[in-house]
Amino acid sequence: MKTLVSIIVPCFKQAHFLSESLQSVLDQTYPYWECIIVNDGSPDNTELVVKQWLGNDSRFKYIYKDNGGLPSARNAGIKNAKGEFILALDADDILHADYIKKMLPVLVANHRLAIVSCYRYFFIKNKSNIIKEYKASGSNYRNLMFENRLMPSSLYRKKCWEEVGGYDESMNKGFEDWEFWLNITKRGWEFQFVEEFLFYYRKAKKSMLTDTLAHHVETNMEYIFRKHQDIYIKHFDHTAEVLFYHIKTHRLGKKQIKNSLEYKIGKLIMKPFKMLCQLFSKANTSK
């Protein structure tokens, strides 16, 4: 098999991880790939790091663009990709050496498949320091409606990217890959998991994902629900069941906190301060 795979590596403030990621590309046992590194207006030494790799292997290519966010950087790279299949690799993550070798034949053999993913490890600092294993399952959009089971660095057909118009560039606060997979699979395409650990996901204290989970979950989910309301309306009963489950869980969580000893002690400690605030407020009002 000599099918070309285009690996797209957007980079923004990740120069310190980039070489490790690119080494995992170079180590692929499947040789027919190109790797397009997209400098998304990064203020660090990304360009200097990339130039070293351009000299190592002619399969590495480089694009510079003004900062536009992760979806924009991926789209820019894919527009210049020559491969029939795409792998979007974040600049701080690592591929197993057999990643393409094991994944590509599955995608090529089944024309109903748009995407092939795999099991993944979560690691801190170096890939030998595994802190979590993630095994996912599923095959169609219904498995993605309320949870993104596919990792961003899944392998997929470029024609599916063309079919949906690429990544949604308005989604600069995360979940852009979830919306992308949903947009593809709701059109009838399927996905499949290779049941092997072929990917290493770096768990960092500060990352786009941690920021998304802390600040943008509800906003992003609402955007996805509204953009793809056709499938959520089609499966209204299931949608209502999931949403009311989350509402109930949130309510019970708040009730549990209020009934906890820690909350009651904290409330008791704060009572004198609240009384002082009320007194100061009354005093200021009477002036």
Q: What number of other Cβ atoms are within 10 A of residue 12's Cβ?
A: 20
Give the start-to-end residue ranges of the domains of the chain. 5-206, 238-286
The CATH number of domain 5-206, selected from 3.40.50.970, 3.90.550.10, 3.50.70.10, 2.60.40.790: 3.90.550.10
List pLDDT tens digits, range 141-166: 999 999 999 999 999 999 999 999 99
Kindly report the pTM of this predicted structure.
0.84
List pLDDT tens digits, range 46-72: 999 999 999 989 999 999 999 999 999
Tell me the pLDDT of the chain (287 aa) as tens digits.
799 999 999 999 999 999 999 999 999 999 999 999 999 999 999 999 999 999 989 999 999 999 999 999 999 999 999 999 999 999 999 999 999 999 999 999 999 999 999 999 999 989 999 999 999 999 999 999 999 999 999 999 999 999 999 999 999 999 999 999 999 999 999 999 999 999 999 997 655 555 555 667 889 999 999 999 999 999 988 888 888 776 777 666 555 655 655 545 555 555 565 555 565 555 555 55
The encoded tokens of residue 261 equal 């000893």
Q: Cβ(30)–Cβ(100) under 8 Å?
A: yes
Sign of CA dihedral 159, 163, 168, 174: negative
Q: Is 199 helix (H, G, I), strand (E, B) or coil?
A: strand
Nearest to 80 by CA among 170, 22, 8, 169: 8
- Alpha-carbon dihedral angle through residues 51, 56, 59, 60, given to the nearest 10 degrees: -20
Q: Rounded to whole angstroms, what are the CA distances from 38 to 46, 235, 255, 277?
A: 10, 39, 48, 54
Q: What number of other Cβ atoms are within 10 A of residue 136's Cβ?
A: 17
Q: Cβ(158)–Cβ(107) under 8 Å?
A: no
Q: Rounded to whole angstroms, what are the CA distances from 40 to 46, 47, 74, 266?
A: 9, 10, 9, 46
Task: Give the phi and the psi of residue 109 in degrees, each rounded to 5.
Answer: -75, -20
Q: Angle between the 176-185 and 217-227 helix axes, to the nearest 10 degrees?
A: 20
The encoded tokens of residue 167 equal 């990544």
